[in-house]
Structure 1
Amino acid sequence: MTIFDKFRPFLDRYTLAEQMETNPFGMPFSAFTSPTRAAGNGRSLVLAGTNNYLGLTFDPRVKRAAKDAIDAYGTGTTGSRMANGSYRDHVSLEEGLADWLGMPSVVVTTTGYQANLAAIATLAGPKDLLVIDRDSHASIYDACTMSRAKMVRFAHNDPKSLDEKLAKYKGSVTGSTIVVIEGLYSMFGDVAPVADFVEVCKKHGVYILIDEAHSIGVFGEEGRGVADQAGVLDEIDFFTGTFSKSFGSVGGFCASKHEDFGRLQPLMRSYTFTAAPSPADAAAAKAALPIVRDGDDLRDRLWKSAHRVHQGLKQLGFEPCSPPSPIVAVEIGSDIEGIMSWTQLIESGLYVNLALPPTTPQNACLLRLSLSAAHTEEDIETILFAFGKLAATRESMGQSHAAE
């Protein structure tokens, strides 16, 4: 027996992937020519799995800000803000986000993952209760573990289930209760009924935290997210987001309508005990913020592509996992079928995400697309053409099995 035996199911799956011409787990790219085009394994590929929702990674204003920051401040911060101090763009980025969201307390972190650790693991302790959506992101689960608070899960996107859980545990909590949801769920692409969740939280007098990592920049007025689109942003207690998607940078933030939240920075382990965001990352996110705020044209293009791809996949015989959103996922069957299907899409010039258990809800095997405002008409045609070839192959294989 070895320490690796407990990983055998995963290692068997990974070994299968390694035997393919292109490994879907961490595929190497040799060049990027635009937000939606890259070269990999000797092929020119359309990118439909990058979460680059507004296409800002190649925006000249964002690139220039990052380059200027390197010239002014160097390549790295070499330590945390608690130890090494804050750079100009760290502070001005927090101020800009606070103004945009209408929340007085904003803390910028090095990644979006660390934003959830900073907020949840700091706010909750052994006497508190965390009630989270069953399909929450790994960073939320990890933050709950770090907090040492009791964690309870409710059925995905189900306000009635949340109501029942809060009623059940109400008398046993000596501290505070925080409900944790997401705006747009990253695997299936489904949107939370945020207004309903807020009503349940108000009924029970508990706090609510929303992770808008995939929805910020995409939903709501000025791209402020699902809570804003639902008209309840001012009733959200805590808000987390990331710069690695719509903002075209790297980093994250946590925000709150409670002023004391910002004073907890020294207690946030993922803020205090890790290096601060690089000058280039902070400057890029700062430069992206006004583009996101004023990006109605970008959002219009993104949603147009999302609806077109969603409808096109349905016409090809695929059944998307949720109504139209910038994330379009289709369930594909077994692990082997998923790997083979992903490989065929690569051969057709299309890169999407292959998502397999245990990283997916309900142990689903998914081909996951994320659309971008930068996708051209030709890009969308390539996406649907590649899935059309995949549909024909799947139909042919089904007929072959039926004949046997």
Structure 2
Amino acid sequence: MDLLEKCRAYVQADEARDAGRYPYYPAFQGPADGGKAILEGVEVCMLGSNNYRALNVSPQVIGAVQDAIALYGTSATGSRLLSGNLDLHEELEADLADFFGYEAALVFATGYMTNLGVVSALVGRGDVVYLDDKAHASLIDGSQLATASGAVVRWFGHNNPDDLARQLAATPTQSVLVATDGVSTVEGELAPVAELVAVCEEYGATLLVDDAHGVGVLGRGRGVIEQAGMQGRVPLMTLSFSTSLASQGGAVLADAKTIDFLRHTSRPQIYSAGLSPADTAAAHAALREIRRRAGSEPDALAAAEHLRRALDALGYDVGGSSSPVIPVRFPDQIAMLSAQSILIDHGVYTNAVLPPACEGYQLRIACTDAHTPYALEGVIGVFASLREDLLPRYRQAA
């Protein structure tokens, strides 16, 4: 059989396009500025971005990028191990470690590669990795890669420390990594970090918290570990620069010996070019701005809480997250895709999320510091005008 026959037989995307309900790869024109974006020449309220602190258009961030390009050019031009390591990388790593309270940090070229590189390097023959059953794809893929080295992958219930404890009690002598998201990417729920720490400490497991969607927003900008009061008790923390840090890339934070081990053994680190000067400078400038604002609560949290309460009052199923992320749940794919299309027609952009990325069918809303009360009232008005079309579907499904 021709290897590429599976590609020619793939029709799901074409079926969605033919039905006018294909929601992916929208081509935006220009940056998302002021909570707005341009889609097919029309301005929309951007509620699908992870730009929680709205720093991608900050003068400080843009200025740092311009200075870095002028001094270093556009590329690191090689792997960090050999020729692509810049003082910019090491300065960012030092400030990340200082801000988040770890001995050391290691910057990767993307957030996805961070988890891929950390898990696959640390876990091997004789080791077990326990994943939250809604863990991000990067943690899953890193764990699957580790199975090639003889690791075993197991799962525990989403945000369920009791289930984790039950499983760890059955295998007390094994070397174990426990990995979870600090904030669920789609549902916006916060991990029970304090409870997970207690379980891991009791059974001698090593906890990794991927706080891509908590950093910059929660815990005075330091994320869910700080918010839970668990500073110094989570051995491994990873994060992505493509959310609040308004850039590209990612990092892992740990003790100095662990970071040195990863610098020399993590294949995604060793065999990738170093993060570009522009991306490194952008992340560092955004980190400095988040540190400067650490004494005040992000507007993104207040915006999300206001919008969540309003949508709940209108009868939408929005869950109960404590982050800038709001899920709006629908009973089926047609209802969700129809709603997304109608919202776009009314100037509101949200993300359509399908299984296996989440349970069921959800529109994912993400608020940022740029979403003013005035802008949100317009969004609430749109959801109110759609209420009679959408709510009967909820009630019928219930």
Give the alignment's TM-score, normalised by structure 1.
0.92
Closer, same or farther in 2 for the Cα pair 1:213/1:98, shift >3 Å? same
Counterpart check, 1:389 vs 2:385: yes
Check the 8 A contact 1:81/1:272 in 2, yes or no. Answer: yes
Instruction: Tell me which of 351, 354, 357 is aligned to 2:352.
Output: 354
Question: Counterpart in 1 of 2:282?
Answer: 284
Give the Cα–Cα distance (whole angstroms) in 2 for the partners of residues 163 and 72 of structure 1. 52
Give the Cα–Cα distance (whole angstroms) in 2 for the partners of residues 197 and 291 of structure 1. 30
The Cα shift of 1:322 comes to 2.7
List aligned pairs for 1:2-401, cutoff 5 A: 11-19=10-18, 23-32=22-31, 34-148=33-147, 149-171=151-173, 173=174, 176-221=175-220, 223-296=221-294, 299-360=297-358, 362=359, 364-395=360-391
The Cα shift of 1:318 comes to 0.4
Give the Cα–Cα distance (whole angstroms) in 2 for the partners of residues 397 and 357 of structure 1. 19
Q: Which runs of no fewer than 5 residues in structure 1 stay unpaired?
A: none
Closer, same or farther in 2 for the Cα pair 1:69/1:298, shift >3 Å? farther
Amino acid corresponding to residue 278 of structure 2 in structure 1:
A
1:361-404 residue CA offsets vs partner (Å, 9 max, x unmatched)? x3x110000110111223212221222222222247789x99xx
Give the Cα–Cα distance (whole angstroms) in 2 for the partners of residues 309 and 125 of structure 1. 45
Closer, same or farther in 2 for the Cα pair 1:258/1:79, shift >3 Å? closer
The Cα shift of 1:72 comes to 0.9
Q: Which runs of no fewer than 5 residues in structure 2 stay unpaired?
A: none
Closer, same or farther in 2 for the Cα pair 1:240/1:189, shift >3 Å? same
Amino acid corresponding to residue 392 of structure 1 in structure 2:
E
Give me the CA root mean square deviation: 2.2
1:221-245 residue CA offsets vs partner (Å, 9 max, x unmatched)? 3x11111111112101111001100
SS in 2 for 1:213: coil
Amino acid corresponding to residue 257 of structure 1 in structure 2:
D
The Cα shift of 1:21 comes to 5.1
Check the 8 A contact 2:187/2:321 in 1, yes or no. Answer: no
1:14-47 residue CA offsets vs partner (Å, 9 max, x unmatched)? 2243135574101111233614111112321010
Check the 8 A contact 2:214/2:323 in 1, yes or no. Answer: no
Amino acid corresponding to residue 139 of structure 2 in structure 1:
I
Check the 8 A contact 1:54/1:298 in 2, yes or no. Answer: no
SS in 2 for 1:103: coil
Closer, same or farther in 2 for the Cα pair 1:180/1:382, shift >3 Å? same
Check the 8 A contact 1:342/1:354 in 2, yes or no. Answer: yes
The structure carrying a bigger helix percent of its residues is 1
1:251-295 residue CA offsets vs partner (Å, 9 max, x unmatched)? 100010353433431211111111111110000111111111122
Closer, same or farther in 2 for the Cα pair 1:383/1:16, shift >3 Å? farther
The Cα shift of 1:298 comes to 6.4
Amino acid corresponding to residue 164 of structure 2 in structure 1:
L
Identity of aligned residues (%): 32
Closer, same or farther in 2 for the Cα pair 1:245/1:125, shift >3 Å? same
The Cα shift of 1:359 comes to 2.3
